[in-house]
Structure 1
Amino acid sequence: MYTFISPLSSSMVAPALPFIAKDLHFTSSFELSMSLSIFVLAYAFGPLFLGPLSEVYGRWKVLQASLWFFVVFNAACGLSQTKEQMLAFRFFAGLGGSAPIALAGSVVSDCFSGAEMGAAMSYYALGVILAPALGPIVGGFMTQGVSWQWLFYMISIFGGVLALAGTWLLPETYAPILLVQEKKRMGVDLGVQKSVLEVLSSAITRPFIMLFTQPIVMVIALIMAFVYGVMYIVLSTFSILFVRHYGENTQTSTLHYLALAVGLFIGNRLSGSILDIISDKLQKRYNTPHKPEYRLPVCIPASLLLPIGLFIYGWAAENNAHWIWLDIGIALFALSVNVTFQALTVYTVDCYMMYSASALAAVSSLRSLAGFGFPLFAAQMYDQLGYGWGNSLLAILGIVIGIPAPILLYVYGERVRAASKFGRD
């Protein structure tokens, strides 16, 4: 639920953008796109300090404080009277909302062994992947039925209730913090401790160090940045396509996001069990214990589905084909996105275990920058190239980036990890 609420808020304003533009006097399409994507821009900065902070103070404190921060500033978005206020409040809400995205994978890794990791990750990932697809549907109906302000009020009410529940139901999971707490309860002398400043300075610089010194983190960040960026292009333009070219109203057009949700859900259920099954089979085949690289083979078929889905979607839209072809293309694309996202997240956690929050923060930062930047040029790209060639360009880039990268990681990943001071061994 923590990972569901923030991405829901990130995308549900998409159908409300024309109404927000009218009330808050947005004068350009670029500014209006910013009101959607600036939330995701905050995802690029929040994890860089929230992830490391969780390795100092524990997961629970960071998650709870961040969720309340999100609740307050998200409600403030509904009270905005100017476009400047809207942009500022959306950014701060995104900072608070980035904590579950940055920490959820690490919380799961705290609780489950490698053999169970794939299935466990798939359940938490349901929130991350379904929320962006369901958000525009909720947003479309609420905007026309009530008002765009109530989009924000509703989410903040839901977030407040969730934060209160988490006070009692969400436990601390980070082993070093639990160990310190247990020693304190037993009256054990903890010895000479580093100062808070020393610990924080080390922790907060770690994601930057990992992003620029760890080849595995670099490659994963590149793949996920591209996939995430393309997904936000789809999220920001899908409804508008059906309104402008198929003559549908706002409510009806947002129902096509169900195709995205279906693809994401199928990918989630498939990859959750397949990740563990493949790992188990490879362990038996090579008579070895589990290796992080055993998570990667599933990325190969997923990387083929992404361009296929984009080709179908793009050329169906270009030729005004029946809407079902657009939905099929998007569903295939979404299935690929989820499988790729899940496999690489589990692989990152497997590789860096104790430092997984910092590694995921580094990946999340670059990924979120792409989610922020890609939608800003989406309209111009489709105006210049059309939906056919525009999506074909994205599909070709997907082939170039998505197919070689997991193969290289599978072949050389173990060697690279062995040379890393952050590696699991």
Structure 2
Amino acid sequence: MSALMPPSDRDLESKSKESTQIVSFKEEQSKDGYEVDLELLEHPQAKKLFIKWVIVAIIGACALNVTFASSAASFTETGVGNDFHVTKEITILSITLYVAGLGIGPLLTGPLSEVYGRNIIYRVSFILITAFTFGVAFAPDIAVHLVFRFLSGLSGSSFLSVAGGTVSDLFENRQVGTPMALYVLFPFVGSVIAPIYAGFVNQNTNWRWTYYVLIILSFVQTIALFLIPETYVPVLRKWKAARLRKSTGDANYWAPLDRRQQSMTEAIIISCYRPFQLIFYERMALLLNTWTAMMFGILYLTFQAFPVIFGKNHHFNVQEVGLSFTGISLGMLASGFTQPYFNRFLLKEAEKAGGKAPPESRLYAAEIGSICIPVSLYWLAFTTYPHVHWIVPMIASVLFGFGDFLLFNSVLTYLVVAYRPIAASAMASNSAMRYSFAAVFPLFAGQMFDRLGTVGATALLAGLMTLAAPLPFIFRRIGERVRAKSRFAHHE
């Protein structure tokens, strides 16, 4: 009988003394039953540190696989064109449609994950990715190949949107910086190490082997996803309420998700239009999103540009062109090691601000990145001549990768913190713009480099990034005033 009764005030007081900021303890009686919360040991943040990092590693590896599959396709274009008798412009759609799927998917998986939890979305996503990659690898014609590429991107998109929430589920705010930076690093590194792998495969065997290996990798990761626990607290509370109803026979136990008023259709509609509201009404979000979208487009443009710079100018073969992406990946990895420095910087900013660092302090890393990127692009532009040793533009690409990751990690974190009440929509607005640019840029890369040459085309991109470079410096100084007037931003 005591299991049916809500805890006494003394019990609640005793529990609260043992509690931390991780979770509140309440099984409070109201007119419609007992609202159930998690005990301390049930909360995801109470898991052992090793288990947390294993979970981050698994979802990070899955995110790497998703972006790995996007850029690996750039080295299959010649084989696909020869087998299906289509032009290069058609084969580039293999990247464009996949990336379009990555951009659209979060609008659907975001609302679904908030009702059914993160794990079911992950598992279904990778089961579908494995199945659709079969369709890509064994496609009898170009139409089937492209349709399954789009569906593969659509399925994999959850790891570029929902997965970030898993990291925040597992770590407190003061601890989340390093694991979040590691998670963000995985998909970016995946997109630039894929050409290294794809170059060797397509140099030595049939293009379809690019996808055969991805099928095996996706299958292994699908199994790994069944080993990690659910971390989304509202769903865990819902499951606990269901267990209590079953074990006690009392139907009055409930969790907030049990009383959810919003239908799934309404949630998806809001998920679709709110990110665009943010873009249209928030100039700060619009400018930062456009800046990162341009940068992301340039990153995907390199998958068409490097074969020209290193293949035509320096006479690299296919696998050597793939290895030319080593510079970008090394730069990204190097930038990941700077995270402890920025963590200490944020602690100092928090001390100055009375305990909580302002969102604008997150843009400090973007300031460094905004300088590195145009410098690296100018360096790359004027060293692409055939008579300049190939190691010189390769070193420039290291600086490009370094600045690239600093920029993205800084701006994405800033958007989440500055627009905390609608953080999911802020991320979705950024993703929609980034993947739109990433889908389109490769389509005109060939023509641009043919008409302007490697120097002119790369210098043009450097000029655009130079114009955008002042943005983090400006917003770090005026961001607080802009947020104070915002209808969406978080106000302290």
Q: Which residue, out of 178, 182, 189, partners 1:123?
A: 182
- Once residues 342 and 111 of structure 2 are traced to their aligned partners in structure 1, the CA distance between those partners, rounded to angstroms, is 27
Aligned equivalent of 1:406 = 472
Deviation at 1:324, TM superposition (A): 0.6
Q: Name which one, 1 or 2, has greater alpha-carbon Rg.
A: 2
**Aligned position for 2:389:** 322
1:424 to partner: Cα distance: 7.0
In the alignment, is residue 85 of structure 1 matched against residue 85 of structure 2?
A: no
List structure 1 segments (4+ residues) > 4 angstroms apart after TM superposition. none
Change (3 A) 1:374 1:259: same
Question: 1:62-89: per-residue Cα shift (whole Å, max 9, x none)?
Answer: 2222222222112211111211111111
Show the 5 A alignment for 1:169-208: 169=228, 171-187=229-245, 188-190=253-255, 192-194=259-261, 195-208=263-276
Q: Is the 8 A contact 2:419 2:488 kept in 1?
A: no
- After TM superposition, the structure 1 = structure 2 runs for residues 138-157 of structure 1, keeping only pairs within 5 Å, are 138-157=197-216
Alpha-carbon distance in 2 for matches of 1:422, 1:68: 37
- Cα offset, 1:297, TM superposition: 1.1
- Aligned-pair CA distance for 1:317: 0.6
- Residues 211-255 of structure 1: per-residue CA shift (max 9 Å, x gap): 333444323311210110001111222134322221221112211
TM superposition score normalised by structure 2: 0.81
**CA distance, structure 2, for counterparts of residue 31 and residue 116 of structure 1:** 46
Per-residue CA deviations over 1:323-347 (Å, capped at 9, x if unaligned) read 0111011111111111101111222
Any conservation in 2 of the 1:12–1:138 contact (CA below 8 Å)? yes
Quick one: higher RCO (CA 8 Å, sep 6+), 1 or 2?
1
1:9 aligns with one of 30, 49, 69: 69
Q: Which amino acid aligns with 2:79?
A: F
Specify the SS of the correspondent of 2:224: helix
Distance of 1:209 and 1:161 partners within structure 2: 40
State the number of aligned residues. Answer: 421
Deviation at 1:35, TM superposition (A): 1.9
In structure 2, the partner of 1:383 is 450
Instruction: Confirm whether residue 243 of structure 1 aligns to residue 311 of structure 2.
Output: yes
Q: Which residue of 2 aligns with 1:109?
A: 168
Q: Write the deviation string for residues 355-413 of structure 1: whole angstroms up to 9, x where unpaired.
A: 43332122111100101111111111111211112111111110111x22212332333
Counterpart for residue 232 of structure 1: 300
- Over the matched positions of the two proteins, sequence identity in percent amounts to 28
Q: 1:353, CA displacement in angstroms?
A: 4.0
Higher deviation after alignment, 291-300 or 205-214: 205-214
> CA contact under 8 A between 1:43 and 1:94: conserved in structure 2?
yes
Pairwise CA distance, 1:204: 4.3
DSSP-derived class of the 1:80 partner = coil
Q: Which moved more, 1:171-180 or 1:9-18?
A: 171-180
Q: CA deviation at 1:192?
A: 4.5
Q: Classify 1:52/1:291 alpha carbon distance in 2 versus 1 (closer, same or farther; 3 Å).
A: farther
The equivalent residue for 2:123 is 64
Q: 1:242 to 1:424 in 2, by over 3 A?
A: same
Listed as ranges, the gaps of 5+ residues in structure 1 are none
**Per-residue deviation, 1:206:** 3.2
> 1:217 aligned to 2:276?
no
Contact 2:369–2:404 (Cα < 8 Å) also in 1: yes
2:154 & 2:116 partners in 1: Cα distance?
18
Of 6-15 and 175-184, deviating more is 175-184
Amino acid at match of 1:208: F
1: CA distance, partners of 2:147 / 2:403: 33
Taking structure 1 as the reference length, the TM-score comes to 0.93
1:100 aligns with 2:138: no
Which AA in structure 2 matches 1:406? P
Structure 1: distance between partners of 2:404 and 2:300: 11
CA shift, 1:416, in A, is 4.0
Query: In structure 2, do the counterparts of structure 1 residues 124 and 155 end up closer, same or farther at CA, with 3 Å as the change threshold?
Result: same
Cα-Cα RMSD: 2.1
Q: Distance in 2 between matches of 1:421 and 1:235?
A: 36
